[in-house]
Amino acid sequence: MGITDLLLLGKEADLGSERGVSCDGALPSPSDPDLVERANQARSSLGDRAMILGHHYQRDEVIAYADIRGDSFKLAQAAADNPSAEFIFFCGVHFMAESADILTTQNQKVILPDLAAGCSMADMATAAQVEDCWQELEKLGVAKKTIPITYMNSSAAIKAFTGKNNGAVCTSSNAMRAMKWAFEKGEKVLFLPDQHLGRNTAVLSLGLKLEDCVIWNPWKPSGGLSEAQIKMAKVILWRGHCSVHGRFTVENIENVRRVLPQVKVLVHPECQHEVVARADVVGSTEMIIKTVTDSPSGSKWAIGTELNLVQRLARENPDKEVVFLDKTVCYCSTMNRIDLPHLVWAMEALLAGRVVNQIKVDEQVALQAKVALERMLALP
């Protein structure tokens, strides 16, 4: 049983809405029949001058040209480890390209094939909003004992704020280590911008209670919190989330377990707390891939993460049953803005002598953001 088969079980499995039942989630093919040939020619002509990075959530038509596949930080590190590549085509989203620019040399240029490829989670915390929050914490006298931790999925400006205020960056795989480090340095943690990763790390990994966490809503005065709530909290969670991972529900888990006996539910820690608490395995994108790849033949997996990756895992592991946890199709809409036409356009423009869509982080911002990234790398 594959992803499409599970979707087609909509009626007999009583999975609810008809929406998505007959849709296999296939993305439309590029309209230019010569596009693949043009892509091959452009990539060949660029040679070692260029490096193409492909995030795991990218379309297959783009992944086919990736020199390296990975999560956001792995790809940024790969660019930094290859200083001979003058041009870095980052097939991901904006904050990822920013991180690559921060970590690479001044001679390297990072290109985002489509500038509209952003991240809704990263956009949920602006530098001005975070500065306002920090000022409120200063007024209450708690800023000095609060350590900011920002998820990799944040803007360069937020990473710079974190670096400037004695904090660090974290990834989904080292969030527990980063939060533990923060508590060794202070009494509170301001976790940006994903409330779910912050809550799951604090409660399920570090053993804190749900009531130890409060949510800061940037659209309300004092984050919508009382002075007592802020002072009592151990973790202040920013009101942000991933639009893809946040949609998975406990109902999804119950339904897939009814349809597929002995299935293991594997989800990303950006999912809601109730979902993560009921899953069999929780892990970062890289861990999800490794878990499925290393599992025994015949094992069954329902995966709560971006659909491009789940479909790819199903194809690359034909000896296992790999299905999408949700009953409806859900790609990361901004990640999918990077398609083959945009990649070909960016490569051909470079061959014509034009660097398009270069991502360049302000020098001072990059300096402070790099401090936060280096603190993460120095974590025990």
pLDDT digits (tens, 9 = 90+) for 62-110: 999 999 999 888 898 898 899 999 999 999 999 999 999 999 999 999 9
Question: Domain map of the chain by residue range?
Answer: 35-118+336-361, 122-241, 244-331
Average pLDDT over residues 226-247: 96
Terminal Cα-to-Cα distance of the chain (whole angstroms): 42
193, 161 contact by CB (below 8 A): no
Higher pLDDT, 257 or 336: 257
The DSSP call for residue 372 is: H
Nearest to 333 by CA among 61, 29, 72, 27: 27
| pLDDT band at 12; cut points 50, 70, 90 | very low
Name the burial class of residue 28, with classes exposed (0-12), middle (13-18) and buried (19+) by CB atoms within 10 angstroms of its CB.
Answer: exposed
244-331 carries CATH number 2.102.10.10: no
**Is the pLDDT score of 44 beyond 80?**
yes
Residues composing the chain: 380
Nearest to 73 by CA among 161, 169, 164: 169
| pLDDT band at 11; cut points 50, 70, 90 | very low
CATH superfamily of 35-118+336-361: NadA-like (3.40.50.10800)
> Quick one: pLDDT at residue 77?
87
Q: Which two tokens stand for residue 102?
A: 């921060």
Question: How high is the mean pLDDT of the chain?
Answer: 90
3-state secondary structure 250-313: HHHHHHHHHHCCCCEEEECCCCCHHHHHHCCEECCHHHHHHHHHHCCCCCEEEEECCHHHHHHH
**CATH number of the domain at 122-241, please?**
3.40.50.10800
Average pLDDT over residues 301-311: 94
- Assess whether the region 35-118+336-361 and the region 244-331 belong to the same CATH fold: yes
Sole residue written with tokens 């439309």: 28
What are the residues whose beta carbons fall under 8 Å from the beta carbon of 326, sequence distance 6 or more? 247, 248, 252, 304
| pLDDT band at 5; cut points 50, 70, 90 | very low
> Quick one: pLDDT at residue 26?
55
Q: Which two tokens stand for residue 380?
A: 């025990």
**Is the pLDDT score of 40 beyond 80?**
yes
CA separation (Å) from 223 to 51, 58, 153, 344?
42, 35, 21, 44
| pLDDT band at 32; cut points 50, 70, 90 | confident
114, 357 contact by CB (below 8 A): yes
Kindly report the number of other CB atoms within 10 A of residue 253's CB atom: 21
85, 111 contact by CB (below 8 A): no
Phi, psi at residue 270, to the nearest 5°?
A: -80, -5
**Is the pLDDT score of 21 beyond 50?**
no
> Quick one: pLDDT at residue 331?
78
